């Protein structure tokens, strides 16, 4: 059986008792387990900060920027409330995504299959990396316990709803509306993050340029051996900023202080995840968040990640205002298209791609 072409949902719902070898992670990458094989969780005391990011008056702006700055430096991530996206729309995007995976027949889903040999191609798939990655790094042959649908949503010249599912009937309308709303949130966030560093509001957005936005709806089926697998391997996102919502099941983990912390689901908040280009622009003052997704044996899980990236022609380097003789640039300039190619060819493997840009002082 060609497991690289087989959808994970079909394996899970087929009633397999053991995970195929292609999905078994190396021992050092597997999640820790307790005696009942439930992934060990962390307490509420040490979890990703929650910030009321837009529901403040002008006098509170400095306080909010300080909270954002602390979260970016310590976590590379934070939840936001009062973000302006209608609660109904958050529920709708989760709803149409779940309906596609749960209610649409496999033969209909496969009509939207992405090109398995082309990285980040739009459509329905399971396998993310280029074949070259497998030859370069043996661990890259391990497959994620996940199916997904990737939508190219911005700029509008990339948006082609005819390549998105037609089922349920409002799927395309919901995704387009969600795309437009999340763009506005991302723009506002880049402004606040800039201000938190003492930079002009437009500084980071100017460095990133026009958003290239993708929306990826991921479906993580129940797994018979969750202690051997990962829904998504450890990585940091390659672009500028990611906005993520998850369902009530949970499974996202962020690495902080060499410890994996489970991000508790917050149904109507949005999780902000800093990506690698943000770390470069801020000259390492803010970190991109290394994260992964774990699986469980009883409940499928769904998440919606909205990626905001530069154009592939954009050159990214540390902001001039954040460098000096006493604080020289820590990262080499990189053309974003070259960074993307490296990420997909070498595989993520934690943060090795951004670490490769570090300047040895």
- The number of helix segments (H) and strand segments (E) in the chain equals 10, 14
- Predicted confidence at residue 135, as pLDDT, reads 45
Cβ contact 305:249 at 8 Å? no
Q: What pLDDT score does 125 carry?
A: 93
pLDDT by residue for the chain (361 residues), tens only, comes to 444 457 999 999 999 999 999 999 999 999 987 533 344 444 555 799 999 988 778 889 999 999 999 999 999 999 999 999 999 999 999 999 999 999 999 999 999 999 877 777 899 999 766 555 444 555 557 999 999 999 999 999 999 999 999 999 999 999 999 999 999 999 999 999 999 999 999 999 999 999 999 999 999 999 999 999 999 999 999 999 999 999 999 999 999 999 999 999 988 999 999 999 999 999 999 999 999 999 999 999 999 999 999 999 999 999 999 999 999 999 999 999 999 999 988 888 889 999 999 998 5
pLDDT at 119: 75
What does the pLDDT read at residue 48? 96
Rounded distance, CA 142 to CA 22, Å? Answer: 5
| pLDDT given at position 345 | 86
Biggest CA–CA distance in the chain, Å, is 62
pLDDT confidence of residue 51: 96
The CA R_g of the chain, rounded to the nearest whole Å, is 20
Note the pLDDT of residue 45: 54
Give the distance, in angstroms, between the CA of residue 233 and the centroid of all CA atoms in the same chain. Answer: 11
Check residue 36 and give its pLDDT: 36
Tokens at 126, concatenated: 């399971």
């Amino acid at each position: 059986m060609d497991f690289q072409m087989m959808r994970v949902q079909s394996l899970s719902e087929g009633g397999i008792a053991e995970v195929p070898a292609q999905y078994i992670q190396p021992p050092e990458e597997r999640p820790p387990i307790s005696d009942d094989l439930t992934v060990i969780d962390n307490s509420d005391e040490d979890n990703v900060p929650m910030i009321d990011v837009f529901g403040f008056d002008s006098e509170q702006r400095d306080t909010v920027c300080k909270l954002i700055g602390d979260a970016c430096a310590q976590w590379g991530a934070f939840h936001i409330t009062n973000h302006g996206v209608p609660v109904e729309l958050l529920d709708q995007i989760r709803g149409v995504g779940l309906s596609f995976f749960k209610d649409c027949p496999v033969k209909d889903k496969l009509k939207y299959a992405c090109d398995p040999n082309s990285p980040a191609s739009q459509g329905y798939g399971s396998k993310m990396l280029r074949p070259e990655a497998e030859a370069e790094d043996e661990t890259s042959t391990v497959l994620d316990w996940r199916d997904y649908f990737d939508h190219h949503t911005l700029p509008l010249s990339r948006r082609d709803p005819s390549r998105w599912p037609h089922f349920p009937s409002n799927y395309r309308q919901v995704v387009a509306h969600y795309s437009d709303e999340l763009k506005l949130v991302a723009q506002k966030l880049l402004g606040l993050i800039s201000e938190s560093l003492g930079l002009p509001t437009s500084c980071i957005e100017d460095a990133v340029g026009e958003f290239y936005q993708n929306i990826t709806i991921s479906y993580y089926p129940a797994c018979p051996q969750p202690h051997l697998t990962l829904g998504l391997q450890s990585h940091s996102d390659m672009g500028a900023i990611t906005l993520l919502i998850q369902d009530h099941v949970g499974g996202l983990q962020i690495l902080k202080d060499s410890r994996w912390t489970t991000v508790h689901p917050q149904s109507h908040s949005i999780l902000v995840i800093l990506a690698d280009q943000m770390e470069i622009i801020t000259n390492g003052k803010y970190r991109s968040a290394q994260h992964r997704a774990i699986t469980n044996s009883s409940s499928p899980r769904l998440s919606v990640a909205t990626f905001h990236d530069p154009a592939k022609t954009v050159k990214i380097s540390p902001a001039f205002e954040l460098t000096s003789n006493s604080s020289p640039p820590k990262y080499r300039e990189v053309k974003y298209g070259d960074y993307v190619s490296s990420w997909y060819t070498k595989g993520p493997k934690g943060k090795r791609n951004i670490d490769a840009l570090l300047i040895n002082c």
